[in-house]
Each structure stands twice: as structure tokens, then as C-alpha cells.
Amino acid sequence: MENNQTKIFLIRHGEVANAVERCYNGHNDVDLSPEGLRQMEMVADRLKGEPIKAVYSSDLLRTVKGARLIAERHSLLPVSLKELRELSYGIWDGKKVDDIRRLYPEDFKARYDDILNYKIRDGETLLEMRDRVLPVLKEIIDKHRGECAAIVAHAGVNKILLLWSLNMDLKDFYRIQQDYAALNIISFYDNGSAVVELMNG
């Protein structure tokens, strides 16, 4: 790795316990399923040989558990940051997508008609989430100049960093796929450029 290169291993958490029910989890603190735990064990093993100097996650259990597994293999203590939480869906948090579509059809349509600005009651807009998440991600990158760091986060958080790295607009949010336990690798350089080496791997 070059001296002016900062490598970020960006990982989505593993499968969650309510995955079959297809819920908006957001800030809902759902646990990993046994399969999700197995997925994160595999990611941790995959990254075991990388010179990772720090491991970060949100403060929600589904990312914390994965971060611990990765950190253990590098004799590190993971750092959990509330700012790295998924989008807050407010009153939709923890509810099934099909139930929301049935109970709030107008709100459901309005959100997808304006994904940047629509705010679910007690939740946040996608723009607000970006403004919460991106400064923290930039701080992590700056703190580990010339090093490798791992971040275990959520689909929405990962998409924001990937879009920013690719100079893509936030309105392209749903053009990026992040499967459970997805691994992304992004290299940042001192000249301000970024190279996405792996996406949704």
C-alpha cells in the first residue's frame, strides 16, 4: 500500500433476525440472525490478513457484533459511533414494509417520489442523514491517513460513502446495492481522489 493511500474496508452488517419479515429497521436495535453471525465470521476471516489499524461501527447491535469479530482478529477494540446509524424511519422503525404500504399508502408513495426531502414522522430525511454521517466518515478517513481501517455499518451509510467516493448524486441512492455482509473497499489519496476497488463483494 502506498504512503499516500488510505484504505477503508466498508462492510454492511450481516443478516438480521427479522430479515424474512422485511422490516424498516432504521434505528430499531434488531440483532443478527445465526446466519448473519456466520456471514460476519466469514468477513472477519477474509480480512484477518489485512493491516487494519482501527474498527468502527454504529452503536446498534447488528453492526457492533460484526465489528467485534473483525477487531478480535486484529487485537483491537472496536469504536461504536451513534452518528453511523442507519436512516431513522421514525414511526416506521421496526415495522414491516408490507404493513407500511397498506397502512400509510400516501406517505409510502410520497417518500419514494421525493427520497431526498421526505421525512417520516419522528424520522429524518435522506439529506439529514447524509449531513449526520458524511462528516464522521471523513473524520475516520483523515484520522487514518496512510493506514487501513474497517467500518461495519448499514446499507444507507455505506451508500452515502460510496456515492461521495464516486462523485455521484444522493438522488442515485437506490442505484447502489448493499447485500447483507457486503464488503466494499475504497482507497482515498492525498490529492483528494478516491478509487472504489470493490463494491458489494
Query: What residues are paired with 82 via a beta bridge?
Result: none
- Number of helices (H) and strands (E), helices first, in the chain? 6, 8
**In the prediction, which pLDDT does 4 show?**
86
CB-based contact 82:27 (threshold 8 Å): no
DSSP per residue over 85-152, as a string? Answer: PPPP-GGGTTEEHHHHHHH-HHHHHHHHHSTTT---TTS--HHHHHHHHHHHHHHHHHHTTTSEEEEE
Residue 4 and residue 171: Cα distance in Å, rounded?
31
Q: CB-based contacts of 34: which residues, under 8 Å, 6+ apart?
A: none
Q: Running DSSP on this structure, what letter comes out for residue 167? A: T
Q: Report the number of distinct structural domains present in the chain.
A: 1
86-145 pLDDT, tens digit per residue, is 999 999 999 999 999 999 999 999 998 999 999 999 999 999 999 999 999 999 999 999
Q: What angle do CA 109, 113, 115 make, to 5 degrees?
A: 110
Residue 160 and residue 173: Cα distance in Å, rounded?
7
Q: Which domain holds residue 27?
A: 5-198
Write the CATH number for 92: 3.40.50.1240
Q: Running DSSP on this structure, what letter comes out for residue 27? A: T
φ, ψ (nearest 5 deg) of residue 86: -65, 170
Query: Which residues, given as ranges, of the chain have pLDDT below 70?
Result: none
Residue 107 and residue 119: Cα distance in Å, rounded?
9
Mean pLDDT, the chain, whole residue set? 97
- Compute CA 130 distance to the chain's CA centroid, rounded to the nearest angstrom: 12
